[in-house]
Structure 1
Amino acid sequence: MVTRVGDLTEAKIYANHRSVRASVMREVLEQIPASDEIVVVAHSLGSVIAADLLTRLPERTRVRALVTLGSPLASDMWKRLRSLATDFPYDRVDAWINVFDPRDAVTYGRGVAARFPMAVDVSVDIRSHSVRAYASHPAVGALLGHQLYGQRDAHADLPPARQLGEGWHLQLLGFAYAEQLSRTCQAKKFSWRKRFDTARRISATRVIEEVEQADDSARADLGATPSVTDFVDRASDLVRDVWSDDDLLPLAVSRYASSPLPPFDIAVDPKHRLEALTALLNRVRRRQGSISDLEFATAVATSVEHAQDALTPDRRRWWGYLVGGGAVLLALTGVGLWAVLPTALAGAAAITATLAAFGPGGMVGGMLTLVLATGAGTALVSAGAVAATGERDAAVEFRLAVAGALTQMRVEELRGLLVGIVAVIRAQEALGMATTRPHAMEVLLDAQARLAQELHLHTVVAPKRPGTKEMAERADLLHRAIEVLTEADPADDTRPVTISPA
């Protein structure tokens, strides 16, 4: 572990002497081609020199990626570079990825994105400041490999999309939505698109790295691992025709309402989300029925908007907390449950273990973690539970297990999830699909009864304590959601469709 900053003599000389900086700039600029695309990799003090360099590049030189390793730019020693945050040459620098170890004292334990928003921070665990340690990390290797040898043109001729295991479907759907967000981005928002595409590539690299670190049996269950190109450029093709409209609806609600590439906190305008969702549906839906892609997407967006109005009146940002990015939402609405339960588990134990593993901030909205994405079943509960207890008892066991998991969620997780549940039910009924309102009501009423008992005990034993107050908030949220679900059929709602600004 790096516990202290070593000799900073060179850094101080560079920071305090303009003539030294000028001499270094001349030396570096002499090595840069006057007209070409380059990838810049800079370590430690070199990252400061690279930041200085960005506004002094030859006119026809383009930086495909700036990769900084162990950068000290979070330090106030380099505050003279703060103007780079407002004068960043987006037109000539496609991406800036900063790799740092929070234990590396040279980085002050921080990334640089807080000071330079155009940068994307990637945290690694190498416990060293050496360039060898940073460059040897798989994430850095994958990143540089993609930049130097990867497919640069998403529309270039690609081999046919290959078949992948069902365990990858939800992950690929998340990347497919992110792909459409990139493709539907307005031309004038080129800087947003560059940053977003950088996040897409990093997210894909992280998924692959996590799989490589998994044990042999987990990798075997998942089957062939998608490539970065599969995630970034082909995801839509790889999940085309996978879901019926009924199964796709809660996933569409999840994608529309969740942060697109967590843990990156990337803001997306509601109109942009709607346009991207429409494009996604056009690419992945089965061609069945008379519902158009725009009608489907608009029903999703409007239902989310109405649910948010009902359960989040103060308009706080909640979508980042949509638990499980659709997996728990599937369970609670009774739709597409084959996508929730891993084949290796059975019965209530499977449900409890699966739901407990979901949470906000996971990859692709937490749709399914790679650990649990080991396959997909085909029924309400796994075959083992049905064989042991019978179909009816297994269904009750499932509902009670889900209700129990619901009562354990934090307030903001619960709020986002309930918004998602209400939105799914409203969209189902607005589009004339089979409603799962009765199933959702049973689950919520079971959860409400359990929570009421716990709240009474906590009120007696620990009145006015923060934990008791938090439990009361959860009970109130459940009560409000149940009230909303007992309202009139949203198909009778004649109010105009509007999407309010973020």
Structure 2
Amino acid sequence: MRVVFLHGLGDGDPELGWLDGLNIGLTQAGFAPVDSDKVIAPRYRSHFETAGISAKVPPVTYKTKDDSDARLAFERRQAAVQRFLGYEAGVGTFGYGRVPDAPVAVIQQAAIKAVPLFDLPHVKRYMQDEGLRGAILKYILDHLPGTGEIILIAHSLGSVVAIDLLDNLHPGLHVRRFVTIGSPASAKAIHVGSDRLLKRFPYGRVDDWSNFLDTGDPVTAGRGLASTFQGAQDFTVDIGHKHDSKLYLGHTSIAKLIAQTLYPTNSVALRGGDIAVRLTDNEATILLSLHFAHAVQRHIKDKDAAVRYASALTAQQDEVVAQVEMNAGSVGIARELAELAGGTLPRLPHRWKMHEAVGELVVLSLTNLVEPYEIDVERAPREALLDMAVELGFQRSTGTKIGDAIEEVKTHIGRKSGLPWGRVLTAAAGVAIIAAGPVGLALAAPVGVFGAAALTGGLAALGPGGMVGGLAMLGGLAGTGAAVATSAATLSGGPVEPVADSNALVLRVAAEYARKSLDLPYDKGLWYDITDLESQLSARVNRLAVYSDPGSPKLENLRVGQRIVARLMDFMLEKNLGPAELVSAEVDVDRAIEKARRTMDEDARLEAWNRG
């Protein structure tokens, strides 16, 4: 495999300083350096200095009409890159402080006008001079092989040329890894008067694209490429606010990413050890979640939605496998996890009693298991309940009754409260689910709900790429009898809003009603958790209403919580879900009211008779 490097302007780097930097990074990471005869580094500086140079722009060779499958595969590989770099020290993924567009434009425009050392003036010329652009592209293509695989690395001006080149490459040439460093390709200044750069990304030709920048690099002005190019995935590194390709490629994490493709290793198939390792409860819950998601996918009627859901689920399953492989080196793994890592979804163990299973299934049926993707699955989760009841060793009718119970709660609560049914009730668990990449998620739970930490043991290690969000389901949430504490700490350290707890109680009411429908024991003390929350919500509303605007979003949010709680209480009374003494008292009150009403009616009739 050849390494192709497209340089920034300068002198074209005739001494291959970029390669020295890459080899330093490779050596520090424990890999062999790359020989100069294994690289292709065409120098095109002279094209900017030759008057009248011109050529026709090479034809577009990527003409696939439908590359939707290739795009899904591309996104899966991008997620793998994000996971890999997410664990690398010194690499920033998402959420770094970007310079706003206005300052970026000013900085980069100033560089174009006043700093000829940088490439931006030449980038603008490349973009606006059709003949020059054609000559450079043709020159580079003449240096590239017609077939095979390459790693394409491009710096500064070279990154703009490389992006432009992707859909003009020889049809038999495939880019195994595309790495851009210090790229100014998102600068608005260079796009003014030009509309040429890569309007359609060649997903079937490029395996992945990682763009690295130092936020202090004046050519990038701290701005990545993802906002301009759909295929790009941005990462930040610290090279001392410089723009040097040697420093970028000498960064160990960038070198490791290149080595991953340059020196591929065959992953060793995982298998359970000689000593039987039992699935932890959390690992079993993750498998249950995967099975439920697969059942949902089977019942999605819309073909396009089913395909997208299946692809999103595959990406989520990749996350689980990556976590399994990471943990496998230090501890033994259960046979089921070894099967999962080998590409087979293992059978579910029959370890859930019906009472526990009901709680799990209620939560799963109301959860988006391919978070952060949003796909309309219509009634598929309800139909999946029947399949899952059988997989867990129960009758299909059990799944039907659970589904019916959920529908009754949804109808009673959701009709007027505006609950977002069909999506994961993130706040319901008092849980923060935070996006950390195209696919990876970090999960954090308050101590009051799950004990010392979320998902302890087994697959508990939550790296920067995170666990699986929807798939790292929170075992036993709906089955716990404890109230969801309103003071539970979130990631920010602040209190959970009571409205979040009202959503949590919706799940618990649904679970307890399903249990009652199946003649199982249910938590009759749940009523007191709801009345306690009613008091907290009312106290918060009364205090904030004194000084807040009448239409305050926070007040409205709290009032939504009040409406949810009121309807939950009404539902519980209607279905006799409260404590026996409360139900008895409620019946006695109803009887007394009815008796009083009849007495009043009788008195009114007698009075009317006497007047007549």
1:452 and 1:57 map into 2 onto residues whose CA distance is 65
Please report how far the alpha carbon of residue 268 of structure 1 lies from its aligned counterpart in structure 2 after TM superposition: 1.7
Contact between 2:160 and 2:185, CA under 8 Å: does it hold in 1? Answer: yes
Please report how far the alpha carbon of residue 270 of structure 1 lies from its aligned counterpart in structure 2 after TM superposition: 0.9
1:475 maps to which of 558, 562, 568: 562
Contact between 1:249 and 1:424, CA under 8 Å: does it hold in 2? Answer: yes
Identity %: 19
Please report how far the alpha carbon of residue 448 of structure 1 lies from its aligned counterpart in structure 2 after TM superposition: 1.5
Equivalence for 2:346: 237
- Equivalent position SS for 2:541: helix
- Equivalent position SS for 1:19: helix
1:172/1:301 CA distance change after superposition, 3 Å: same
Contact between 1:243 and 1:286, CA under 8 Å: does it hold in 2? Answer: no
Equivalence for 2:375: 268
1:301 and 1:93 map into 2 onto residues whose CA distance is 45
Q: What is the correspondence of 1:288-437 to structure 2 with a 5 Å cutoff?
A: 288-291=393-396, 306=411, 309-310=414-415, 313=418, 319=423, 321-323=425-427, 363-365=467-469, 398-399=482-483, 402=485, 404-405=487-488, 408-410=495-497, 413=500, 417=504, 420-421=507-508, 423-425=510-512, 428=515, 432=518, 434=520, 436=522
**Structure with more of its chain in helix, by fraction:** 1
Matched residue type, 1:291: R
1:15 maps to which of 127, 131, 135: 127
2:261 and 2:298 map into 1 onto residues whose CA distance is 20
1:404/1:57 CA distance change after superposition, 3 Å: same
Equivalence for 1:337: none
Equivalence for 1:57: 169
Contact between 2:177 and 2:261, CA under 8 Å: does it hold in 1? Answer: no
State yes or no: 1:455 paired with 2:541: yes
Equivalence for 2:609: none
Contact between 2:385 and 2:399, CA under 8 Å: does it hold in 1? Answer: yes
Deviations along 1:78-112, whole A, 9 cap, x unmatched? Answer: 48568845x44444445555556666665554554
Contact between 2:430 and 2:500, CA under 8 Å: does it hold in 1? Answer: no
Contact between 1:36 and 1:61, CA under 8 Å: does it hold in 2? Answer: yes
1:352/1:138 CA distance change after superposition, 3 Å: same
Contact between 2:366 and 2:425, CA under 8 Å: does it hold in 1? Answer: no
- Equivalent position SS for 1:266: coil
1:268/1:189 CA distance change after superposition, 3 Å: closer
Q: Which has the larger radius of gyration?
A: 2
Contact between 2:249 and 2:255, CA under 8 Å: does it hold in 1? Answer: yes
Please report how far the alpha carbon of residue 482 of structure 1 lies from its aligned counterpart in structure 2 after TM superposition: 3.4
Q: RMSD across aligned C-alpha pairs, in angstroms?
A: 6.1
Contact between 1:126 and 1:137, CA under 8 Å: does it hold in 2? Answer: no
1:177/1:142 CA distance change after superposition, 3 Å: farther
Please report how far the alpha carbon of residue 57 of structure 1 lies from its aligned counterpart in structure 2 after TM superposition: 3.2
1:232/1:134 CA distance change after superposition, 3 Å: farther
Deviations along 1:474-493, whole A, 9 cap, x unmatched? Answer: 33333234334445499xxx
Equivalence for 1:444: 530
Matched residue type, 1:75: A
- Equivalent position SS for 1:53: helix
Contact between 1:250 and 1:424, CA under 8 Å: does it hold in 2? Answer: yes
Please report how far the alpha carbon of residue 446 of structure 1 lies from its aligned counterpart in structure 2 after TM superposition: 1.9
Contact between 2:430 and 2:449, CA under 8 Å: does it hold in 1? Answer: no
* 5+ long unaligned stretches in structure 1: 212-218, 330-339, 382-394, 491-502
Matched residue type, 1:477: I
1:160 maps to which of 252, 271, 276: 271
Please report how far the alpha carbon of residue 362 of structure 1 lies from its aligned counterpart in structure 2 after TM superposition: 7.6
Equivalence for 1:25: 137
Deviations along 1:101-144, whole A, 9 cap, x unmatched? Answer: 66666555455444444x36455564756665578465984697
Equivalence for 2:260: 145
1:445/1:280 CA distance change after superposition, 3 Å: same
TM-score, normalisation: structure 1: 0.58
- Equivalent position SS for 1:402: coil
Matched residue type, 1:450: Q
Matched residue type, 1:160: R
2:135 and 2:290 map into 1 onto residues whose CA distance is 45
Matched residue type, 2:346: D
1:62/1:175 CA distance change after superposition, 3 Å: farther
Matched residue type, 1:269: D
- Equivalent position SS for 1:237: coil
Equivalence for 1:389: none
1:146 and 1:300 map into 2 onto residues whose CA distance is 52
Deviations along 1:422-462, whole A, 9 cap, x unmatched? Answer: 554565566x3736463543322221122223333444566
